Structure 1
């Protein structure tokens, strides 16, 4: 059966997606009250659903529209707030599979990376929390997959799809803008390379197509704001409103107990308690903490990809390594007064790509099954941390101490 699945990559992807969706749905109603930044985005989604007035105007509308759709379809309940987030989490897993399949064309490599994404812990938590990050991860991952797909044929159509997905990603959060710029640079490099990765589509039409569609999609995501009962958006205010958003996003904020610097995120120095209090009669907790095996092992994998990519002239390996480096480097220059560990969500996904790529590059001979050995501690750690990443019932208020490896995790 396994040999048959190797020859049917998208059947494998569908099976992994089903497992991921079940995992994300299990216990979705826990906690039964708003947690962490849900207190901002769920009320904003309610206001958007009612088309009442502008709310949470420092971020675009796409993620809040999905939360609002969940409320409309499933009620103003924890399931309604979070249901579309689980689908976005599953889409992220599929996006990881697609990226690896397009880069390496090896179903075991793609399945391994997708499995890591499912078990990296941050994706589970974000998929079950009504915030922005899971939608940002889904659209960005799928957009990159579509961009890679456009290099395989039918470039205009597939590049348009990628541009739409990138526009939606920016419509979730402006943190996707550097990826749009990176895609533009990839287009320039790909057209200048002797292999010409987008044959039949010259450089300037390709850039124009990509830029116009991505920007147009982003601006179109503000359509609901034109129908607010109070202070509706107008065409003349659409561009000035972007300036207002920038001013809100770059304002100086008061210190926060969970703030952290970008360089600390890969080291797991300061995770975030999204929730820790009694809920439905029992103590529950949700700690945004990446799987240590993936988060720390992934750093070695990034270095391995960069080294192998340089030595072997492998564009795929080098690209995977640079994707993670770039995703972290942008936070060193983005003018944000405060940083938080959840900003590392996209980077944590790219670590899964790097691990799959590194094992593919180096696991040869008697180490051919090294990825399976690595998967064991990943799974064990996921099970070990599951009670405090899933809001499972805990024994009491001090139960969290069992999982506190570092004082900074408290």
Structure 2
């Protein structure tokens, strides 16, 4: 294969490399630890009951027995669960494919977590018009601690991050394809009207037809919201971002009524969203509708005249169930050792310890060996990305920088909605849902340092060295923290060297 061929395939080679790196970090020793890690006690067991009963049954007895293969604690009584179905259905898929084992619970999440790194690499490649910067973004997702831990445990937030990342990538592809359509259409209209290439274009600009990629994004965001409700915040913000992209494109192409044209394009997308999202969401509850044992499945029949009585009993029961879920979420204030204030999530102030056990039989070269899993993002990634976010928001406010808005909007969509709920029992690892956008914002800043505007695409020697050193340091830190992300038995004193801040202990 010659250099010309390699250059032609550079995008595919970059994505493949990112995917392989991410898969190695997520799939290696995935069955360890052979125990329920943190909230796997809810989601892995709930997924298993879906495979056995068709709905989530209540469990009794010792929680730890499940990891040994003892499922005798499963009862036929429907369990009150407080999150939608999609994440648990995906965990159940892994159990069906690979058996009721730690690998089975975690396999689908690990695969989708690997694909997320690829999706972000491809999205970054389009945003920054650079395979190199796309590769940097993908590698940073691949080696981030939160991304690794949430891909390797059967929790819901990793699935949420995947569908949000998928939706964003689809929107970026839609943006680029729509831009090509608009440019082609604008050129044709100017030719037909006998206008110069740079002359204002009368009217709203060209029509773009059915935008299948944006419809795909709406579907992806609907699935995100069907994993956890906060997925719908991403849908609202990022779909509005796609409208902003349209407005900028029409204005730059010289359409005199660009605002009207943008609204005309946004209306069908908005209509599609209000139809597709509820249909997909309710559809993901199919197993709840089709089984009699599901929690509150027949509430309406046993409470005539209550609830939304004009709806069919099944939907009335589902709405009542969701009202209970909402009360649970907004009222959850039970103290927890690792609950954290969302104002401090960006700097990973209080990461969640998912697992910590002494391993007396391990040969780690010390008198005391431990296995630990901390949902801690790579500190350098998050600290540098927090600074980059401040810079990006300044650029948006002062300069109207659309690219800065494009990379940072997902952070705001995933982070700001949590701030009013700082009183609740919530955890730093929820930030994995907007982790890809933190990394995109960091790469945006790195690109501006290495390739400042004044050089018009050229490279600053000092800036390039600084960015190269930052990326190298990030990779070194990831290598240092890997044992705490995958649960490798290590000396207790070595674990202590990772506790950089008192709040991490």
Query: Which whole-Å CA distance do the structure 2 matches of 1:350 and 1:6 have between them?
Result: 28
Q: Which residue of 2 aligns with 1:202?
A: 265
Deviation at 1:278, TM superposition (A): 3.4
Query: Which whole-Å CA distance do the structure 1 matches of 2:428 and 2:476 have between them?
Result: 23
Q: Which residue of 2 aligns with 1:304?
A: 391
Q: Which residue of 2 aligns with 1:228?
A: 291
- Please give the residue correspondences for 1:11-410 in structure 2 after superposition, counting only pairs within 5 Å: 11-50=13-52, 51-52=54-55, 53=57, 54-55=78-79, 57-153=81-177, 156-190=211-245, 192-193=247-248, 194-195=250-251, 202-231=265-294, 233=297, 234-278=314-358, 281-282=361-362, 283-309=370-396, 313-334=400-421, 337-364=424-451, 365-366=460-461, 367-396=463-492, 399-410=494-505
Query: Which whole-Å CA distance do the structure 2 matches of 1:301 and 1:2 have between them?
Result: 35
260 and 210 in structure 1: CA distance in 2 versus 1, 3 angstrom threshold: same
Q: Any idea what SS the aligned residue of 2:482 has?
A: helix
Number of matched residues? 409
Query: Which whole-Å CA distance do the structure 2 matches of 1:191 and 1:399 have between them?
Result: 52
Provide the aligned C-alpha RMSD in A. Answer: 2.5
Deviation at 1:2, TM superposition (A): 8.4
Deviation at 1:269, TM superposition (A): 1.9
Query: Which whole-Å CA distance do the structure 1 matches of 2:413 and 2:219 have between them?
Result: 22
Query: Which whole-Å CA distance do the structure 1 matches of 2:3 and 2:353 have between them?
Result: 40
Unmatched tracts of structure 1, length 5 or more: none
CA displacement, residues 366-387 of structure 1 (integer Å, 9 cap, x when unaligned) = 1234432211111111111111
- Contact kept in structure 2, 1:5 and 1:12, CA below 8 Å: no
Deviation at 1:323, TM superposition (A): 3.0
CA displacement, residues 8-41 of structure 1 (integer Å, 9 cap, x when unaligned) = 3133112211221122111111111111111111
Query: Which whole-Å CA distance do the structure 1 matches of 2:264 and 2:212 have between them?
Result: 11
Query: Which whole-Å CA distance do the structure 2 matches of 1:225 and 1:16 have between them?
Result: 38
Query: Which whole-Å CA distance do the structure 2 matches of 1:216 and 1:335 have between them?
Result: 32
Query: Which whole-Å CA distance do the structure 2 matches of 1:6 and 1:317 have between them?
Result: 29
Moved more, 195-204 or 295-304: 195-204
Unmatched tracts of structure 2, length 5 or more: 58-77, 179-209, 252-257, 298-313, 363-369, 452-459
Deviation at 1:268, TM superposition (A): 2.4
- Contact kept in structure 1, 2:159 and 2:224, CA below 8 Å: yes
Query: Which whole-Å CA distance do the structure 2 matches of 1:334 and 1:177 have between them?
Result: 17
Query: Which whole-Å CA distance do the structure 2 matches of 1:106 and 1:312 have between them?
Result: 23
6 and 302 in structure 1: CA distance in 2 versus 1, 3 angstrom threshold: farther
Larger CA Rg, structure 1 vs 2: 2
Query: Which whole-Å CA distance do the structure 1 matches of 2:19 and 2:159 have between them?
Result: 16
| Larger RCO (CA under 8 A, 6+ residues apart) | 1
Moved more, 335-344 or 26-35: 335-344
CA displacement, residues 104-149 of structure 1 (integer Å, 9 cap, x when unaligned) = 2211111101111111111111110110111000000110111222
Query: Which whole-Å CA distance do the structure 2 matches of 1:2 and 1:124 have between them?
Result: 34
Deviation at 1:214, TM superposition (A): 2.3
